Amino acid sequence: MKLLKISLISFLAVFSLVLSPAVFAEEQKVDESVKVSNIFIDKLNISSQKDNLLDISFVLKNGDGAHAYSKISVELVDFNQKIVDRYVLPDTFTIEPNSEIPNNISYSAPLGLSGDYSLRLLVGNDSGIPLAANSLRVSFNRDSNFIELIPNTCFLASSSNNENKVAIDDTLVLEKAENIILSFQIKNNLKENFKLNPAYETHKDNLYGEIIDQKYQKEEIIISPGEEKSISLIMPTVSDSGNYVTQVSLKQGSKIYNRVLVKYSVGEEESVKIKNISLDKTSYKKGEKMTLAVLFNYLSSKDVSLKMNISVLDKKGNVCLPSFTEIFPSTSTFLSFEKELTSDCNDPHVIVKVTNENDELLTQKDMVFESVKKIDKTLIIDIVVLALIVILVVAGIIIFFVKPKNKKEELKNNENTNNEINNQ
C-alpha cells in the first residue's frame, strides 16, 4: 500500500510539471488597437529543391489581432512581372495574436519552366485580402523536351454567345449560369504522343475562397510529336449568382504541366463586400472586452445608410455577445467595436449581417476564430508515456531498496526463532 501511494504521488508530480505550462499558461495581453494586419513572413528559405518540387520554410509572425480563415499561397513571377503560376494551399488556419510559428510547405511548380523567377509567398484571408508577403529568387532548368502552352492564345467565351469573349486575364461576365468555353493552343515538343488530363477546382470570389463542389466531364488531350494543337474545354459554371474562379490544371498523373486561372461572374454582384473580420484574441473570460473590426466596401455609387448587425457565439453555440446593430453611411469602409462579453467565449463564432434602409439583407459573413493553442494528441501520448516511465523507475528503485531489507529482517527473525527452539 505504501509503495502504491509513493507511485501515485510521483505520477501526479511529474504529470503536473509537464502538463501545467501547456494547460494553465496565461493568455497574452494585446494592445486595444485593431489593425487590418500586423503579420510578417520572416526567414523565408527554400530548404530543398528537386526539379520543380520545392520545400519552403519560413516563420509566420503576428502582432495584435487574430485572423481566421487564413491561407498560404505561392506565386511565380517572371522578369516581366507577369504571374506565371499561382497556387493556394488548401489548409485554412487561424493566426493567433502575438504568435511566432515556424512553417514548412511543399510546392510543385509547373514543369517546363526555365530561368530565374521571383517566388512570392503570401498569406491571405478568404476574401483574398493579402495579410503578409515576402519573396526570394528561384531558378529552374528546363529540359529541351516539354509540353508548352502558347502564350497569348488563352481566352474565355460564353457557350451561348461567341461574341461574349475575353482574354484569360479578364473576367467573363454572364447574365445567367451557362457553360464557359476555355480555348488555348498547346505544343508537344516531345518525340512521342503525349496525353494530358484537365483537372478543375472552383472557388467562391477568389482562390482563397470557399471551394465549390462541382462535377466536370473527364477529358483526355492527346497531342502528336511536334504538334501545335488548338484545345477547347467546356466548363460548367455555378448556378448561384456571384464571382468565381476556376483553376484548370493540365496534368499527367501527379505531374502538372500548366495551370490556367479562369475568372467569371454570374448574375448581379453583391452591393456590399465584407473583406475582413478580425478580433484581438481567440479566447475570452466573462466580463472581458472584445475588440472587433470589420473591413468592407459598398460597390454602388448611391449614397445611403446601411445597418450592420453583429452577434458572437462560443464554440458550443451559446451567445457570449448578444446581437447589436450599428447604422453607418455607405461611404464607410472600416468599423471597429469594443464590447463587454456576457459569458466565457472560446473559439468565437462571429456573424456579421449588412442590411439596407428597408432591412433587406445585402450580405452576410460568418467566421470562427478557432484557437490553435491546444494540446496535440501526440503530445498527450508523449506525456503519459513519460509519466509511466517515471513511475516504473520510481517503483523499481523502491523495490530494489525495500525488498532486500525486508528479506534480511525475515532471515534474521527466522534465525532468532530457530535459536530459541534449540535452547529449549
Domain closes at, from 111, 140, 169: 140
Q: Are residues 294 and 257 located together in one domain of the fold?
A: no
Q: Are residues 154 and 216 located together in one domain of the fold?
A: yes
Does residue 34 lie within any of the structural domains?
no
Report how many domains make up the chain: 4
SS3 410: helix
The string of DSSP letters for 106-167 reads EEEPPTT--EEEEEEEEEE-TT--EEEEEEEEEEE---S--EEEPTT--EEEESS-TT-EEE
SS3 409: helix
Q: Are residues 48 and 135 located together in one domain of the fold?
A: yes
CA distances from 209 to 36, 89, 97, 216 (A): 18, 11, 23, 19
**How far apart (Å, rounded) are the C-alpha atoms in residues 365 and 310?**
10
Domain closes at, from 208, 237, 266: 266
Q: Are residues 181 and 259 located together in one domain of the fold?
A: yes
pLDDT in tens, the chain (424 residues): 433 333 333 333 333 333 333 332 333 333 333 345 789 999 999 999 998 899 999 999 999 899 999 999 999 999 899 999 999 999 999 999 999 999 999 999 998 888 999 999 999 999 998 999 999 999 998 765 678 888 789 999 999 998 899 999 999 999 999 999 999 999 998 888 999 999 999 999 999 999 998 888 889 999 999 899 999 999 988 989 999 999 999 998 888 999 999 999 999 888 999 999 999 999 999 999 999 999 999 988 888 999 999 999 999 999 999 999 999 999 999 999 999 999 999 999 999 999 999 999 999 999 999 987 544 444 455 556 666 776 776 666 766 665 555 555 555 555 555 555 555 5
Q: What is the pLDDT of residue 392?
A: 75
Please give the helix or strand (H or E) that residue 417 lies within, else none: helix 377-423
Per the CB < 8 A criterion, the answer to whether 96 and 50 are in contact is: no
Domain closes at, from 229, 245, 266: 266
Phi, psi of 175 (to 5 degrees): -70, -35
Does residue 338 lie within any of the structural domains?
yes
Does residue 30 lie within any of the structural domains?
no
**How far apart (Å, rounded) are the C-alpha atoms in residues 181 and 168?**
11
Q: What is the pLDDT of residue 378?
A: 47
**How far apart (Å, rounded) are the C-alpha atoms in residues 399 and 408?**
14
Does residue 216 lie within any of the structural domains?
yes
Does residue 352 lie within any of the structural domains?
yes
Q: Are residues 299 and 222 located together in one domain of the fold?
A: no
Does residue 261 lie within any of the structural domains?
yes
Do β-strands 115-124 and 66-77 pair in parallel, antiparallel, or remain unpaired? antiparallel
Q: Are residues 391 and 330 located together in one domain of the fold?
A: no
Per the CB < 8 A criterion, the answer to whether 216 and 236 are in contact is: yes
**Which residue range(s) make up the domain with 218?**
147-266
Does residue 31 lie within any of the structural domains?
no
Q: Are residues 70 and 9 located together in one domain of the fold?
A: no
Q: What is the pLDDT of residue 270?
A: 84
- In sequence order, what are the residues at sequence separation of 6 or more whose Cβ sits closer than 8 angstroms to the Cβ of residue 174? 158, 164, 180, 237, 264, 265, 266, 267
Q: Are residues 62 and 136 located together in one domain of the fold?
A: yes
Q: Are residues 287 and 351 located together in one domain of the fold?
A: yes
Tracing cell 461574341 back to the chain, one arrives at 163
Q: Are residues 68 and 156 located together in one domain of the fold?
A: no
Q: Residue length, the chain?
A: 424
The angle subtended at Cα 89 by Cα 28 and Cα 185, nearest 5°, is 155
Do β-strands 319-329 and 345-346 pair in parallel, antiparallel, or remain unpaired? unpaired
Nine-digit cell string for 306 = 446601411
Could you tell me the pTM of the whole model? Answer: 0.74
Q: Are residues 65 and 111 located together in one domain of the fold?
A: yes
Indicate the DSSP class of residue 375. -
CATH number at residue 304: 2.60.40.10
Q: Are residues 153 and 258 located together in one domain of the fold?
A: yes
CA distances from 244 to 92, 367, 419 (A): 19, 20, 100
Indicate the DSSP class of residue 262. E
Q: What is the pLDDT of residue 415?
A: 59
Does residue 204 lie within any of the structural domains?
yes
